[in-house]
Amino acid sequence: MKALQIMAPGRAEVIQLPVPQPAPGEVLVRVSLVNTCPQWDLHLDAGEPMFVGHQIPYPYTPGQPGHEMTGTVAAVGEGVEEFRVGQRVAAWRDAGHDRQGCYAEYVCHNTDHLLPVPDSVDDRGIASLELAMCVAVSVLPLKKLDAIAGKRAAVNGLGPAGLIAGQMLRAEGATSVIGFEPNARRRDLAVGLAVDEAFDPRDPATAERVPPRAGGAAVDVAIDCVGYPDATRYLMDHTGRHVALFAVQRHDYTYALGHAGLTVIGYEGHYKAAAEYALGLIAAGKINLRPLISVELPLEQYAEGLALLRRQEAIKIGFRP
């Protein structure tokens, strides 16, 4: 079978591997569509660890970092009763970067890491279930605090995660959702799909429309999908009650005197109930993941896809192995 392998920073190859066999408790999936996770893909391509303190061994594990995947069960391992051959499934959890990833024609997954795909949802509408689960981990604590319904909401960063976060905030009853994003193309895509209005935080005119906390705060609750210090501080300075930190954090932040009354919520980690919540919203038509895929390419054009991501000319690239 074909599989992608990152050999060194800036160099990926399509190689041939034997089709894996599912172990007990696993299923073999014929991959229909696998999407980029821009953070992972671009960091590995640049030779930069995704998380502080991590190291990257090259050549990297075949098929990695592909993990946002949907496909069809091709075989089941011993003891598997939850899934059947021919059933459509989607991965909600990354199995770890020490085993073969989903940038391949076939991949084995633990049954606990898969969910069945409703017939009403096509491949493009479900492939990024794993990312939707990740975003749900930030949304569900806000929902538990009754911090969304009837409140004014904001999303910082209108890339893949921000587009999902805005839709989830709407689905949970936010009265309005605005977005902050420097990229004009992303702002245009987000309006209507995920937010009511989108602003360039660098534009002086934005300050007139979006007052800081000292001026009454234009929003009550916000989700940060950027993670850079200036962007996160901007969100904390402009949100009244709750800020959820979704993006990977690599810096410390100061909770200043001007942030009194603001609750900052960290990231809990992945869990299946968040995936089931996200899948429910997708099946109900409350979240549309299809527009996140800007273009579909074969694995052989992985480098071209990353170039589009690097130039921010695409949200995600979908690959059909």
Domain ranges of the chain: 2-127+289-319, 132-265
Structure confidence by residue, pLDDT tens digits, 251-295: 888 888 889 999 999 999 999 999 999 999 999 999 999 999 999
Averaged pLDDT for residues 79-93: 98
Q: Report pLDDT for 206.
A: 95
Query: Nearest to residue 185, comparing CAs of 152, 207, 163?
Result: 163
Q: How far apart are CA 139 and CA 150, in angstroms?
A: 15
Q: Report pLDDT for 226.
A: 96
Sign of CA dihedral 146, 134, 179, 286: negative
Residues 6+ apart with CB under 8 A from 114: 27, 29, 83, 89, 90, 91, 92
Say how many Å lie between the first and final Cα of the chain, rounded.
Answer: 9
Residue 304: is its pLDDT beyond 90?
yes
Of the pLDDT bands very low, low, confident and very high (cuts 50, 70, 90), residue 54 is confident
For the structural domain made of 132-265, what CATH number should be given? Answer: 3.40.50.720
Alpha carbon distances (Å) from 266 to 39, 140, 224, 247: 19, 12, 10, 10
**CA-CA-CA-CA dihedral for 28, 34, 38, 43, to nearest 10:** 40
Is omega for the bond preceding 116 within 30 degrees of 0, making it cis? no
Does the domain at 2-127+289-319 match CATH 1.20.58.190? Answer given as no
Residue with tokens 């192995």: 321
